[in-house]
Amino acid sequence: MTTAEEQPAEPELIPARIQDDIKYWLLRLPRGILSVFVRLAHAIVNGIRSFLAGIVSFLRDPIGSIRAFFVKLRRELDTLSTVQLIAVLGVFTLFLVAPLISVVYTSFVDPATGFFTLDHFTRLFGDTNFWPWQYNPDTGEWITYTDTRTVLYAGDLLVIQGWDFGAVLNSIYVAIVVTMFSIILGVFFAFIIARYDFFGKSIVRTVLIFPILATPFIGAIGIKRFLGARGFLNNLFYTTLGWLPFRVELHGLAAIIFIQSLSFFSLVYLNAYSSFMGIDPSLEEQAENLGATGFKLFRSVTLPLAMPGIQAGAILTFILSIEDLGTPIVYYDDLQAQKTLAYQVFSSIATQSGSIDPKGPAIGLILLVFALVGFLVIRKYASLRSYEAGSKGGQWNPRTRRISPQATTLLYLVLIPSLFFALIPQISVIVLSFAKQWSTDAILPDAWTLDNYSVLWAYENVANSINLTLIYGAIATVVIVLLGTSAAYLIARRDLPGKTALDLLVTSPIALPGIVIATGYFTLFYNTPFFPPGGPAFLITMSYTVRKFPFTVRAAYAGLLSTPVVLEEASMNLGASKNQTFAKITLPLIGVSVLAGSLLSFVYSVSEVSTSLILGSVGREQAPMTFWTNEVLNATGQYGGYFNAACLGVLMMALQMLVITITNKILGSRSSAITGI
C-alpha cells in the first residue's frame, strides 16, 4: 500500500508549461494594449510639441528662418531638381491636399450663409443610423436604438449578424475585429513559411499571394452567393451530408468582417514574413543558449523583433477596413451593412446631379481623422523595421527547420482548411463566372458555360469601360513614373529642408480613404473645367495617380538605397552634370525597381473601387470597370447578376496575378520593400 506521498500525481489536463504561458499572456495583454495607447499618446504629444517648438522658433526670427530655408534649398537644388520638386508639390497640392482641405472646410461651413457651423455634426449625431444614443428633451430620457442580437433563427436557418451600434462604432469595431483576425492568420502563415521547410512549401507560399488578388468588393460578389442560405457550404454540409442541424448564413456586419478578414490578412502576412526573414538568427541562437526554447523563444525574442512589421501591416489593415466601400455596396440590401462610415459617405452623394449632402464631408472628416492617426502610427513603427540588430543575415541566412513527414501531415491538416477559407473569395468568383444555372439545393452549378464572358465584349457599356479603365490606368502610370522617380530621387539623394514632410506627403495616399478624396473632388472641382457635369474622366485619372503613387515611389526609393552613391559621384567627377548623371546613370540603375513599382501602380489603379464608384456615378459613359461591375451585379436581363459580374472580377484577378508575378520576378527579394510605408 502506497503512502500519500508515494501516490502518483493526477495527470494534468493542461501541462504546467502551457498554463504558465496562458497566465503570462493574460497578464501581459491588458498592459500591452495600454502600452500601445500610451506610446501613441506620447508620440502625438511629442509631435505637437515639436510642431509648436518649430512655430515658436520661426516667430522669434522669421526673417532668419526663411533666409536659412532658402539658402539650404538653393544649395541642394539645380534646374532638374527644381522642376521635379515643383511638379510633385503641384500635383499633390492640387489633387490631394486641396481636396482634403475642401472636405474639412465644407464640414464646418453653412452652405447658405458661408459662416462657421457645427450643425452638420449635430445633425449627423442626431441620426439614429449614425449614433444610436439619442436624448429626448420632452421626456428627459435617453433612448437607445442598438441591436445586440448576433444570432437569429428563422425555420431551419441560423443567421449570424453583427452588433449594431450605429455607423461610427460599427466601423470601428468591425475594423478592430478584422485586424485581429488578420493578425492571427497573417502571423501564423508568415511564421510557418519563414521558419519551416516542408514538402509543398513553395506551393503554399504561392497560394498565399492569391488573397491579395481580390479586393473585398470582388470577394463579396462571390461570397454572398457562395455562402448564402442556398449556397455551396450549406448545400454540402446541411442538405447533402447532414452534418449541420440548420443552414448558416452571414448577414450585415458579420459578413463584412468575414470578407474583409479574408481579403486583408495577406497585408499582415507580407509584412510579418518580411520581418521574420529579416531577424538576425544569432539573436535567437543566443536566447536558446540562455534556456529560451519553443513558445518562450517565440514570445520573448522572435515576436518582439518582428513586431514593427506586424504592427505596420495591422494598422494598414485597420485603415483599409474602415474605409472599405465595396463590401457594403454588395450588401446594400442589408440595412445593417449600410451602417458604416464609408457607405454613409457614398449615400450622401446624389448620383448624376453631383450634389452632396453636407453630412457627407462631415463623415469624411471623421474617416480622415482615423486614417491620419493610423498612418502616423504606421510611420512610427515602420521606421523601426530597419533597426540594426534585426538586419544582419536574416534574408540570406534564414533560420529554418526541416520537419518530419508526420509533422508535415499534421501541418497540412491545419493548412488545408485554413487555405480553403482564405481562398473562398477567389474560388467563389471563378465558379460563378462559369455557372450557367445554379439551383437552390445543388452543391455546384447544374450547368457550366463560357457564355457569361461575352459580357466583356458584347455589352457595349462594359466593353467601353474596360478600354477606358486601361487608358486611365496607363496615363496615371506614366505620370506616376515621372513624378514617383523624381520624388524618390529628391528624398534619397537631396538633403532638402522639409524632406521628411515630402516623404510623408507622397506616401500618405496609400492610407488615406479614397472615398474622402473623391468627396473632396466634388466639393472643390465639380462644375469646373477639371470636373464638368458628366465628365469625370480627368479626375478619375488623377485620383488613380495620387492614390497609387506610393507603390512606385517606394520601389524607386528602395532601388536608390541599393544603388551606391559613389557611382553618381564618379560620373560628376568625370565632368557629367547632375542632369546627365540622373539620366544616364541613376535612371538605368533603378529602372528595374521603377518598372516593378509602376506595374503595381497600374494594376491597383484598374481595380480601384471607392473613387471609381463615386466619380463614375456622375458620368456613366466615362465610368471605369469597377463601376460597371457593380451595375452588372445589380442589373437584370441578359447581362446582369452574379454570373456576369463574376466574369469582370475574374478579369481583374487575372490581371493582378499576371502583374504581381512579373513584379516578383523583377524585384526578387526586394519586393518586400514596397509592402511597407
Report the candidate in 662, 667, 227 with the shortest Cα–Cα distance to residue 425. 227
Mean pLDDT value of segment 283-293: 74
Degrees to nearest 5, angle at CA 246 with 240 and 250: 105
Grid coordinates in use for 656? 493582378
pLDDT in tens, 513-551: 888 898 899 889 988 999 988 889 999 999 999 998 888
Determine contact, residues 263/208, Cβ cutoff 8 Å. no
Query: What is the rounded average pLDDT of the residues 124-151?
Result: 81
pLDDT digits (tens, 9 = 90+) for 396-449: 456 777 888 888 888 888 888 888 888 888 888 999 999 988 887 888 888 999
Q: With contact defined as beta carbons under 8 Å apart, do 381 and 311 qualify?
A: yes
**Topology alike, domains 78-102+456-674 and 155-432:** yes
Across 367-381, 556-570, 662-676, the highest mean pLDDT is recorded for 556-570
- Domain residue ranges in the chain: 28-62, 78-102+456-674, 155-432
Cα–Cα nearest to 626, from 641, 640, 611:
611
**Confidence band for 235, pLDDT divided at 50, 70 and 90:** confident
Mean of the per-residue pLDDT values for the chain?
80
Pick the CATH number of 78-102+456-674 from 3.20.20.140, 1.20.120.140, 1.10.3720.10, 3.90.1640.30: 1.10.3720.10
Confidence of residue 582 (pLDDT cuts 50, 70, 90): confident
User: pLDDT at residue 292 above 80?
Assistant: no
Higher pLDDT, residue 487 or 590? 487
Measured between alpha carbons, how far is 343 from 363 in angstroms, rounded to an integer? Answer: 10
413 exposure class (CB count in 10 Å sphere: 0-12, 13-18, 19+): exposed
Instruction: Write the DSSP assignment of 576-633 as a string of letters.
Output: --HHHHIIIIIHHHHHHHHHHHHHHHHHHHHT--HHHHHHHTT-GGG--HHHHHHHHH
Facing residues of 401 across strands? 196
171-194 average pLDDT score: 90
Options 1.10.3720.10, 3.30.750.24, 3.40.50.1970, 2.40.50.140; CATH for 155-432 is: 1.10.3720.10
Pair 267, 382: CB distance under 8 Å:
no
